[in-house]
């Protein structure tokens, strides 16, 4: 029998809601958002945030208010490119207002919906902004309504510089990060950096409206409607309890970031006031030949395609370029490196391939290509919220001084010294056995991993690049141009791995050859034994001299007995002076660095 409580629950439950087939094809969570608005308002015209004027207001009405705010800052009717088309409502309004408008999106389901609503000849193209080339240099305005966050901000200004007329307008309505916090990777564009990149591209900000207070309630509205319509949403293709739970968690994260001032919702209008001499952009795979030409011009020898791939391909590295009249004249690159910062996991970049064409090196101000490449790379890649929390590089003293003077570098985190030992004739240890690893095998991988874990456990007070098996294999076994030799130190009884080290032959005649100790994987209290074994190994290799590049903080570890000659190389590991990250003083004297941490040894 049905009781009164059951009847009450049935009366308050939402009525079954129909799935709208064409909207169900949208990608998640746009398919969810579209259905929530359609079910609540009877129709759906937009997919963007709303601007709420009062509590309890519907999402559709708030979206209309947001669209009206956007229209108020557009230039008069002109040739306009809309990036991200939603459901085509804005495009239709612009057409009705006599704009010569074209909309682009890579989402084919949105293209189909817009053509269903506006007709088969609707002016829409299936394209990413990065690939769009139509009417280059002839557009009067570009419009981004919550689409800018999905496109790299440097690409936005780079493409705007190509597509717009010299006095073109750029309008953006979107979420931005206005605060960065330690330990968080931020997906939203960081507004202070966006302003700098706009100015470097020749754009002036002439309208900035903070709509955060009105837009943030969209999060609460979405959360409440997902909860209310949960059972109906589960009828959408691919939507499960798990995906809805994850969506609610994500919305809660957004709510917290708006409440704590990390996110802001901004309406922006930029106008291009000048055509700058230097054009900035990301280095992409299609720029490989340009990079090779610049590399040869700067260093006097070519970079092989294999070496470029080893550094940068498949997300291993990133770089910023500066062009002058279509010619690449400066480059600042970095390779990703997993790291431990005082015992906790982090991600670092290893700076490499800082290049400026000789003809433009004399421009050393904040308007010059050297500064622009470095500053833009640091803003784009380094610090709290960015892909890399910290970075290391190895400029010589002369190359270090200009960035330090301009504020890009903040003092030295370390100096690099070279240690030099002579070969050592000594009897083998009865406790330990030294053998070269002839090839990379599953057993060697396991032993390297064991050595790294033992080493990492003793480095809680250091900043160190991870030297696990994946890293050792890629760094030393897959290097396209150089040959390295890996040696394992094991117990004689039981063959338990104790330490590993890497050597590189650096020249010399047989009997007087030189080798560099590139890397050591050993606990701190076993490093001295590794050096002893490497010196003893020299005799068998026909070597006379063993060298090692080290950060100066490692001198007490590697040269406790004073057996090595020490030379300061005038190579500086600079601190980051440009973007917000870990406090400089916490990393001074903490880096564990060797020759293997460079890209050129």
Considering the domain architecture, whether residues 67 and 48 belong to the same structural domain is answered as yes
Shared domain for 425 and 317, answered yes or no, is no
Q: How far apart are CA 193 and CA 191, in angstroms?
A: 5
**pLDDT one-digit tens code per residue, 402-446:** 899 999 999 999 999 999 999 998 787 778 899 999 899 999 999
**Is residue 42 domain-shared with residue 146, that is, in the same domain?**
yes
CA distance 580 to 283: 24
Residue found by looking up tokens 């002058």 in the block:
324
Together in a domain, 71 and 173: yes
Write down the residue that tokens 């030949």 correspond to.
Answer: 289
Of 216, 222, 238, 220, nearest to 39 (Cα)? 222
Do 374 and 475 have their domain in common? no
CB 390 within 8 A of CB 464: no
Do 319 and 387 sit in the same domain of this protein? yes
Domain containing 348 equals 279-392
CA 393/CA 571 separation, integer angstroms:
9
Provide φ and ψ at 228, rounded to 5°.
Answer: -65, -40
Contact 38, 23 (CB under 8 A): yes
Domain count, the chain: 3
Residues of the chain falling short of pLDDT 50? 1-13
7 occurs within a structural domain: no
Q: Is 401 a member of any domain?
A: no
Contact 350/334 with Cβ under 8 angstroms? yes
List the one residue out of 104, 109, 156, 149 whose CA is nearest residue 128: 104
Residues 292, 238 share a domain: no
Pairing of strands 543-551, 513-521: parallel
Q: Which of 352, 375, 392 is the last residue of a domain?
A: 392
Task: Specify whether 183 is located in the same domain as 219.
Answer: yes
Pair 448, 487 in one domain: yes
Strand order through the sheet with 164-177: 124-126, 100-105, 79-83, 139-145, 164-177, 263-272, 203-210
Please say which residue of 243, 271, 299 terminates a domain: 271
pLDDT of residue 6: 36
In a domain, 534, yes or no: yes
Cα–Cα distance measured from residue 134 to residue 556, given in angstroms and rounded to the nearest whole number:
63
Place of tokens 């009450």: 8
d(CA 517, CA 358): 34
Query: Would residue 9 count as lying in a domain?
Result: no
Tell me if 402 is assigned to some domain.
no
291 and 253, same domain (yes or no): no
Q: What is the CATH number of the domain that holds 284?
A: 3.40.630.30
Residues 261 and 293 in one domain: no
> Within a domain: residue 289?
yes
pTM reported for the whole predicted model: 0.92
Asked if 597 contacts 392 with a C-beta cutoff of 8 angstroms, the reply is yes
The predicted-structure confidence for 516-569, as pLDDT tens digits, reads as follows: 999 999 999 999 999 999 999 999 998 999 999 999 999 999 999 999 999 999
Q: Residue 36 is part of a domain; what is its CATH number?
A: 3.40.50.150
pLDDT at residue number 370: 93
CA distance 125 to 105: 7
Q: Is there a domain that residue 589 lies in?
A: yes
Query: For the CA atoms of the chain, what is the radius of gyration?
Result: 29
CA distances from residue 172 to 70, 76, 84, 450, 456 in whole angstroms, order as listed: 9, 16, 11, 51, 46
Q: How far, rounded to the nearest angstrom, does the alpha carbon of residue 250 sit from its chain's CA centroid?
A: 21
Q: Are residues 108 and 82 in contact, defined by beta-carbon separation less than 8 angstroms?
A: no
From 357, 374, 392, the end of a domain falls on: 392
Peptide bond into 29 cis (omega under 30): yes
Residue 73 contacts residue 267 (beta carbons within 8 Å): yes
Q: Helix/strand/coil (H, E, C) string of 265-290?
A: EEEEEEEECCCCCCEEEECCHHHHHH
Residue 250 CB partners (closer than 8 Å, separation 6+): none
pLDDT at 12: 45
In this structure, are 329 and 266 located in the same domain? no
């Amino acid at each position: 029998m049905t009781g009164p409580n059951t009847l009450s629950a049935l009366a308050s439950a939402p009525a079954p809601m129909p799935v709208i087939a064409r909207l169900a094809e949208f990608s998640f969570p746009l398919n969810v958002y579209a259905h929530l608005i359609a079910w609540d308002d009877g129709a759906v015209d937009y997919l963007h945030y709303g601007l709420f004027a009062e509590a309890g207001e519907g999402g559709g009405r708030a979206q209309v208010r947001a669209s009206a705010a956007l229209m108020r800052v557009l230039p008069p009717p002109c040739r306009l490119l809309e990036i991200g088309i939603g459901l085509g409502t804005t495009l239709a309004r612009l057409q009705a207002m006599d704009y010569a408008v074209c909309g682009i999106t890579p989402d084919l389901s949105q293209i189909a919906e817009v053509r269903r609503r506006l007709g088969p000849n609707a002016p829409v193209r299936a394209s990413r902004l990065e690939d769009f080339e139509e009417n280059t240099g002839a557009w009067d305005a570009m419009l981004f309504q919550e689409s800018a966050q999905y496109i790299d901000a440097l690409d936005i200004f780079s493409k705007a510089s190509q597509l717009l007329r010299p006095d073109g307008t750029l309008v953006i309505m979107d979420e931005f990060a206005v605060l960065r916090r330690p330990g968080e990777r931020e997906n939203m564009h960081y507004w202070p950096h966006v302003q700098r990149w706009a100015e470097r591209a020749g754009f002036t900000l002439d309208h900035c409206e903070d709509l955060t207070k009105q837009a943030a309630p969209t999060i609460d509205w979405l959360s409440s409607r997902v909860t209310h319509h949960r059972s109906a949403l589960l009828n959408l293709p691919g939507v499960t309890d798990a995906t809805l739970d994850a969506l609610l968690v994500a919305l809660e994260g957004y709510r917290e970031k708006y409440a704590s001032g990390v996110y802001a919702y901004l309406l922006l209008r930029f106008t291009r006031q000048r055509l700058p001499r230097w054009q900035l952009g990301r280095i992409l795979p299609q720029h490989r030949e340009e990079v090779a030409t610049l590399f040869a011009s700067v260093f006097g020898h070519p970079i092989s395609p294999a070496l470029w791939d080893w550094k940068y391909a498949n997300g291993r590295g990133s770089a910023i370029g500066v062009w002058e009249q279509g010619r690449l004249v400066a480059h600042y690159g970095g390779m990703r490196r997993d790291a431990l910062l005082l015992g906790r996991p982090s991600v670092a970049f290893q700076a490499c391939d800082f290049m400026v064409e000789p003809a433009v090196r004399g421009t050393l101000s904040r308007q010059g290509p050297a500064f622009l490449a470095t500053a833009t790379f640091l803003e784009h890649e380094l610090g709290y919220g960015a892909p890399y929390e910290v970075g290391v590089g190895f400029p010589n003293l002369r190359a270090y001084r200009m960035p330090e003077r301009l504020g890009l570098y903040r003092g030295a985190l370390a100096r690099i010294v070279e240690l030099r030992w002579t070969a050592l004739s000594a009897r083998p240890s009865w406790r330990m056995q030294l053998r070269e690893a002839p090839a990379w095998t599953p057993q060697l991988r396991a032993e390297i991993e064991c050595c790294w874990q033992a080493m990492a456990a003793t480095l809680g007070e250091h900043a160190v690049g991870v030297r696990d098996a994946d890293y050792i294999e890629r760094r030393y076994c897959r290097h396209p141009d150089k040959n390295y030799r890996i040696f394992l130190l094991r117990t004689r009884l039981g063959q338990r791995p104790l330490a590993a080290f890497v050597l590189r032959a650096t020249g010399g005649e047989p009997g007087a050859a030189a080798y560099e100790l590139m890397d050591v994987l050993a606990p701190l209290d076993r490093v001295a034994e590794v050096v002893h074994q490497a010196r003893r190994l020299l005799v068998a290799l026909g070597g006379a001299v063993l060298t090692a590049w080290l950060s100066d903080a490692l001198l007490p570890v590697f040269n406790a007995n004073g057996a090595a000659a020490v030379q300061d190389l005038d190579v500086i590991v600079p601190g980051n002076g440009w973007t917000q990250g870990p406090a400089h003083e916490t990393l001074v004297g903490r880096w564990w660095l060797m020759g293997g941490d460079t890209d050129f040894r």
